[in-house]
Structure 1
């Protein structure tokens, strides 16, 4: 299959962060694009404003007629979140339209260019967006398909400049392990940030997660490079050159790390030298480590040390990754997408280091029944880093309830100064009564919908 044979591109689940990036790529490149999603969001609003037709009801009749009348010229791209019982999915399958998963199409696009794949159970969105910003800021011709909205560019997709040889273009891809999607990628350069147990509803066991990452790194081009977090067990599963990085150890690491006026400043040590006094606008020990990985791959593709320092100093982060919503003398509100115990631990540890004189109140919304069941002990331990814990109900996302699985599994083992449970609708009143000077909202569900009201509440206390 080649993309040249298609004129129409139809998306089932167009509002997803990865799907919307592909939709933009096809629209910009002259295809007619339309799609379905379950609910309107800011992303679907943006796509519609760009001229893409979207509907929100399972209804074959709402698929544009030109798509239905030209099945051989129509490519249907779907997300694994679309169930096999979906009415449009059933119809398009029965009528023998060509259906491809998002990951398969992304693999086709990236395969035309020189790919940097950024994988890991956490850290991949920030790291891939850092790599992208370094390249773009340094004048490197690159494209990017990211898993978050970058603050620097206001998008999850960057289009490259035209090139006679597409292999001269670098394509930065967030390589997602969910549903083994990253196995459609064959990168020249790869970063693996972590291989912790996650998505056990898909994989079943941690061993299967590790096996999938092993398959991914085995697909790196033989003359390529794997930049691997120190301590991961992947080196013997790839024919590429392996280089390790971490916060304080490896071939690439940070030194002289300090916090000055709310910024993390450090030196990046690499095999041939040191990039001194890198300043990050986005705080966090984990973000310093992500910057080390991003700087390592940038050096490998020829970006100068000075350009890397300059670019990282202007990197503004990704929406919902250590995002300041309010920062005043009386109150601070920070939002983060963390939804794995290791991510919550890294985030809260960094917040406490930044604000040692303030008590930290965390409002956490667990994501998925299966993830809550599998990691309840880990969530309880990491949340206990906070002084005060507010625990919301589980956000179900794609899952049906699991008997006996509620946020109580986490709550009972939280050991903080205070803890309480509430519903999402009750959170504003709880915060109004608590009057925290430092509130962080955490989770991959829809807790971010409350941020405007929380900001107003804290501003007026």
Structure 2
């Protein structure tokens, strides 16, 4: 199927999603009339509208521009699996013969003709893919990128390649999403797998099914391609000719001489034929060192010079809501992070503890999904206990209905620290005003990001009790 000639219009159902919006931007930039639907306005939908994309927030077919409905054969409908089954617009499109495809399928078609770097993993893929894209862009490599987060360097989740008559010159960096097995539409030349922990068990049912899906993804690496994976993962039987591993301290790519200077990590990167010394990263965290190792492996394979990698990593500013500093001065630190799995929370809080030894950490956490809370309750309890104080919000349901007995109270019982509280969004700011704070972190993948600026305002208010 030829995306550039088979369709005249492209309509996105769930256009405000981070991955959907990147694909919408590609079509819009390349001259396609683009429109879409989402449930509620957000900063991201505001940006899309400013770029000339029409967005409706009402699930009614009458809100779709008439040109998109005139000829079903000319309109491609792209949707996210998060759209509910009873969505009225989707029902209309299916009943009237429109081509309806998942975002992942369209992305698979789009990247089939490009040299593709696919970055997969139950966590770490957004930061790693954006690191790869930044290393390539800063080194002058002609690349396009579809990312799962807003990069701090570029202010977008989508990088557009420079025009060229030769698609083989373009490198396409794709965040390969395991949710709903979406990444199985991709056939990368170079693949990174950062992690294969149990997650999305509402989709997969069991961890074994998650692992099997990652193995299937690895089998789709193009002949002659390479797999770079975190040491210890079990995704064998690859078609890739070269399989190399990385980790903090071991593997084909690893770090050495790691130290903390001015609340930042500095280290050397050891790779098969040399060392890149004194890499000083702006983004903190042990997990981000490992992400940098994976990104370095890909960049080297694509011909980026070691010195360019050192420079690129030193100027990489991270992704919105991934260890994002909101406030940092002598008396207060406030960091926001998207972590929503116990392994991510443990990595995040461990890094915060290493950067600020001896300081008091207040964690504000919003659980994401009832099923995830149920399936990993013990892990959440253990990882959240790394904080000194916990303020626990209600579970953000996203696409789910409540599950009896699965509540934030149930989760709080599994946290071992004594300084812990259930608070509503409305009570949170007052709670912060009532207690002295030092290092404050917000954690979660729901709508906790809407509280970041109000929390910042509270934290700069002098404590008077």
TM-score, length-normalised on structure 1?
0.99
Give the equivalent residue in structure 2 for 1:214. Answer: 215
1:183-241 Cα deviation digits (max 9, x unpaired):
00000000000000000000000000000000000000120100010000113244431
Give the equivalent residue in structure 2 for 1:129. Answer: 130
Q: Distance in 1 between matches of 2:21 and 2:240?
A: 34
SS at match of 1:235: coil
SS at match of 2:91: helix
Q: Distance in 2 between matches of 1:238 and 1:423?
A: 50
Is 1:314 aligned to 2:315, yes or no? Answer: yes
Q: Distance in 2 between matches of 1:417 and 1:316?
A: 36
SS at match of 2:315: coil
Give the equivalent residue in structure 1 for 2:300. Answer: 299
Q: Distance in 2 between matches of 1:424 and 1:207?
A: 37
Q: Distance in 1 between matches of 2:241 and 2:394?
A: 44
Give the equivalent residue in structure 2 for 1:366. Answer: 367
SS at match of 1:191: strand
Q: Does the 8 A contact of 1:264 with 1:284 survive in 2?
A: yes
Q: Distance in 1 between matches of 2:355 and 2:367?
A: 25
1:130-162 Cα deviation digits (max 9, x unpaired):
000000000000000000000000000000011
Alpha-carbon deviation of 1:39?
0.4
1:231-255 Cα deviation digits (max 9, x unpaired):
0011324443100001111100000
Q: Does the 8 A contact of 1:220 with 1:240 survive in 2?
A: no
Give the equivalent residue in structure 2 for 1:40. Answer: 41
Q: Distance in 2 between matches of 1:215 and 1:70?
A: 37
Alpha-carbon deviation of 1:79?
0.5
Q: Distance in 2 between matches of 1:79 and 1:153?
A: 25
Q: Does the 8 A contact of 1:125 with 1:148 survive in 2?
A: yes
Q: Does the 8 A contact of 2:28 with 2:34 survive in 1?
A: yes
SS at match of 2:248: coil
Alpha-carbon deviation of 1:321?
0.3
| RMSD of equivalent CA atoms | 0.8
Give the equivalent residue in structure 2 for 1:382. Answer: 383
Q: Distance in 2 between matches of 1:5 and 1:424?
A: 47
Q: Does the 8 A contact of 1:373 with 1:405 survive in 2?
A: yes
Q: Distance in 2 between matches of 1:330 and 1:244?
A: 40
Q: Distance in 1 between matches of 2:418 and 2:67?
A: 61
1:419-439 Cα deviation digits (max 9, x unpaired):
111112211111111121111
Give the equivalent residue in structure 1 for 2:202. Answer: 201
Give the equivalent residue in structure 2 for 1:277. Answer: 278
Q: Distance in 2 between matches of 1:125 and 1:244?
A: 19
Give the equivalent residue in structure 1 for 2:451. Answer: 450
Give the equivalent residue in structure 2 for 1:141. Answer: 142
Q: Does the 8 A contact of 1:117 with 1:175 survive in 2?
A: yes
1:300-342 Cα deviation digits (max 9, x unpaired):
1100000000000000000000001111112111000000000
TM-score, length-normalised on structure 2?
0.98
How many residue pairs match? The answer is 461
Give the equivalent residue in structure 1 for 2:22. Answer: 21
Q: Does the 8 A contact of 2:121 with 2:178 survive in 1?
A: yes
Q: Distance in 2 between matches of 1:126 and 1:454?
A: 25
1:11-410 to structure 2, matched below 5 A, reads 11-410=12-411
SS at match of 1:317: coil
SS at match of 2:376: helix
SS at match of 1:236: coil
1:372-391 Cα deviation digits (max 9, x unpaired):
00000000000111111111
Q: Does the 8 A contact of 1:13 with 1:38 survive in 2?
A: yes
Give the equivalent residue in structure 2 for 1:2. Answer: 2
Q: Does the 8 A contact of 1:235 with 1:242 survive in 2?
A: no
Q: Does the 8 A contact of 2:285 with 2:352 survive in 1?
A: yes
Give the equivalent residue in structure 2 for 1:414. Answer: 415
Alpha-carbon deviation of 1:347?
0.2
1:26-63 Cα deviation digits (max 9, x unpaired):
01101000001100000110010111111100111111
Q: Does the 8 A contact of 1:373 with 1:409 survive in 2?
A: no
Give the equivalent residue in structure 1 for 2:433. Answer: 432
Deviating runs (4+, > 4 A) in structure 1? none
Q: Distance in 2 between matches of 1:393 and 1:162?
A: 47
Q: Does the 8 A contact of 2:20 with 2:103 survive in 1?
A: yes
Alpha-carbon deviation of 1:82?
1.2
Alpha-carbon deviation of 1:345?
0.2
Alpha-carbon deviation of 1:417?
4.4
